[in-house]
Every structure is written in structure tokens, then in C-alpha cells.
Amino acid sequence: MNILGIETSCDETAAAIWQTTPGGGRILSEKIASQIDIHAKFGGVVPEIASREHLTTLPPLVDATLQDARLDWSAIDAIAVTAGPGLMGALLVGTAWARAAACVHNIPLIPVHHMEGHLLAPGLDNALPPFPFITLLVSGGHTMLVRVDGIGHYTLLGQTIDDAAGECFDKSARLLALPYPGGPAIAKLAENGDATRFSLPRPMLNKDNLNFSFSGLKTAVMYAVRKLEKEGGQSKLDAQTRADMAAAVEAAVCEVLVGKSLRACRNEGIGHLIIAGGVAANRHLRNMLDEQATAKNISVHMPRPEHCTDNAAMIAFAAAQRLAQGFTPPAEWDARPRWPLSELDKF
């Protein structure tokens, strides 16, 4: 079975084809058109511009994806499309286009929850660990710890009470005059930084629960930057100082994410951990988690960095997993910009 995945929930237009095989499956082709350069000028995603870009980019991108896989429409058995959560206009472009294509080619259309796509994404590159496992989902809008007892069986163990981890990277980056998106920019700058020069808080790390809070961390960065500016203007914020601050932010965020993930494994008595979502592309986080989890006999599974950030292969893959479990796509559904994972089956 060949499933065409479509993803337009934010600032990446993406299409991919996942082919299911008796033992699993494989990616036949995947394409991503990033809008980052367009939005970077504005310091963040401009929803109206994102929708318009999806509109012009999606049709030729799907053609290119089919061509790359050397398939025509007659070989596509179903379309899987991100139905939410995300930007309403952006979701509407993808879902309306997918609906029309499914209708023209007379094939089923499967609405997919974007976070379920991220959550299962490690399965694109390697077999998923046995159930149950814990997933740390860290993206621009979400920070969640989820217990996964099976495909479609997700229990939220904890989440952020304010900013998401990606949001903390993005906002801190802005304070350091770095371009959008902030996560990769901070990670790059942090390579030459000394994480110990600035002491930043590790919010809620020692609280006996699985929730997160990152807005205080961003505020601490703001005060530290202001203090430096007051002391000596821009000269105090020289390249090394900014690199040290970037390293301190990265260390603080990663320490909290790793600490809480290991706590979740311990609390639930589970020995398999997945990390997914854009922030999971962070090399420092991957190394720290690998080291600390291995020391505790916990196996860590992560998608390749390009499958951590938004992509369409994860959407097609999630649909394939649901279909294999006997999922029947609803006859009627709407794009849902806000869609809690706990309402997975409410369309």
C-alpha cells in the first residue's frame, strides 16, 4: 500500500510517500519546502503568509514527490493529511487540497494528528520499541511526556504549564539577536560557548511531578542580557558572551528535559524512551539523554534529525500505523487548530 502524506500545519510544506510492506514499510520519496527564509525577516511565522506559500508550493511539491518515487496517482492508495493542531489557515490549505485530490482520484483520506506523527516518527528510521514506552514530545508549541501503550493509546503524564521548550529556544534567541527559528541558531552558537559562565534556573526540575515550565527561564535570560547591556552597552554582549549565554540556555533546557524524561521512566517502571519533535534534533539533548538513560539501563530511540522537525513522512507513517490497527477514517471532519492528544478520536 502506498500512502501519500501531506503536512502544512506551520511553516514547512511537505509531501512524502510511505509504502507499507508485510514486515513494516519504507519511504519511497519525501520533499520539504521550508518557508523559514520568508518568515525569518519577521522574526517568527506570519500565519497569512504561511497559508499563501502552502497554496502555491503544495501542488508542484506533490508532483515532484510522485516523480521522485516514479509513481503516478494510480499507484497511490490513500492520502494522509495533518488535520491539526497548527495554524488554521495553513491547515485549511493542506486539508482542502488533500480532500480534493482524494475525491478526484477516488481514494480514502485519513486525517492525522500532527503530534501523533511526531510521536511515532522514530519508526520511520528504525523499528519502534516494544510497548509500553515513554515519549518526550518537544516542539515549538508543545512539551509533553506521553505514555504509549499501543498505537492510538496515549496517556499524557505531564506537560508545560506555560512556554514550550522550542518556544523558550526561540524567545531566548530573539533576546540574543539570533534569527528565527531560534533552536538551531542557539545550538550552533552554543558550540563555542561556556555553559557555566551564566547560571540559569532549571525550572521545576526537582519538583516531584512531570510538568515543565520554561517562561521563567526565558525571563532569566532577558534579565541577564539587560544587566549586561546596562553595564557596558553592546560591547558587553560580544560574540563570546552571546555564545556563553546560548550554551547556558541550551544546558538548562536540556537538563530539565532529560531529568523529567528519566523521572517519567522511573515512575512508570518503563525502560524504553523516545524523543521526538523539532527540539529533539538538538545534538546536546540527544547526547545527554543517550548518556544518562544508558547509565540507567533505559533504551533511547530518536528519529534522524530531519524527521524530528516537521515532515510529511511521519504523517503518512502515523496513518499507516492507525490503518494497520483497523482505524476507519471518519466520513466528516474539520481541521482543528487546537486539538489535544487526549481527543485523538474526536474529529
Q: 19, 20, 51, 139: which one contacts Zn ion (CB under 5 A)? A: 139
Check residue 183 for interaction with ligand KG4 (CB under 6 A): yes
- In terms of C-beta density within 10 A (0-12 exposed, 13-18 middle, 19 or more buried), how is residue 199 classed? exposed
For residue 176, the one-letter residue type is L
The answer to whether residues 45 and 86 touch, using CB atoms and an 8 Å cutoff, is no
Strands 12-21 and 24-34: antiparallel
**Backbone φ and ψ of 9, nearest 5°:** -75, -20
Closer residue to ligand KG4, CB minimum distance, 61 or 164: 164
CB of 310 to ligand KG4, least distance (A): 4
Closer residue to ligand KG4, CB minimum distance, 32 or 205: 32
Q: Which does 169 bind (CB under 5 to 8 A by kind): Zn ion, ligand KG4, none?
A: ligand KG4
CB of 11 to ligand KG4, least distance (A): 8
Neighbour-count burial for 56-66, b at 16+ CB within 10 Å, e otherwise = ebbeebbeebb
Stretch that binds ligand KG4, among 120-128, 133-141, 153-161, 213-221 (CB under 6 A): 133-141
Closer residue to ligand KG4, CB minimum distance, 105 or 202: 202
- Residue 51, CA distances (Å) to 88, 272, 314 in order: 9, 38, 21
Full strand arrangement of the beta sheet holding 12-21: 24-34, 12-21, 2-7, 78-84, 109-113
The answer to whether residues 325 and 152 touch, using CB atoms and an 8 Å cutoff, is yes
- Of 197, 136, 123, 133, the residue nearest 165 (C-alpha): 136
Closer residue to Zn ion, CB minimum distance, 139 or 172: 139
Q: 310, 314, 321, 329: which one contacts Zn ion (CB under 5 A)? A: 310
For residue 269, the one-letter residue type is G
User: Using CB under 6 A, which residues numbered 248 to 277 contact ligand KG4?
Assistant: 277
Closer residue to ligand KG4, CB minimum distance, 40 or 75: 40
Residues 288-327: x/- map of binding to ligand KG4 (CB under 6 A)? ---------------------xx-----------------
Closer residue to ligand KG4, CB minimum distance, 107 or 315: 315
Closer residue to ligand KG4, CB minimum distance, 111 or 183: 183
Neighbours of 76 (CB within 10 A): 20
The angle, 0 to 180 degrees and rounded to 10, between the axes of the packed helices 239-268 and 182-190 is 110
Q: 89, 111, 122, 181: which one contacts ligand KG4 (CB under 6 A)? A: 181
Interface with Zn ion by CB under 5 A: which residues? Answer: 139, 310
Interface with ligand KG4 by CB under 6 A: which residues? Answer: 10, 139-141, 166, 169-170, 181-184, 187, 277-279, 281-282, 309-310
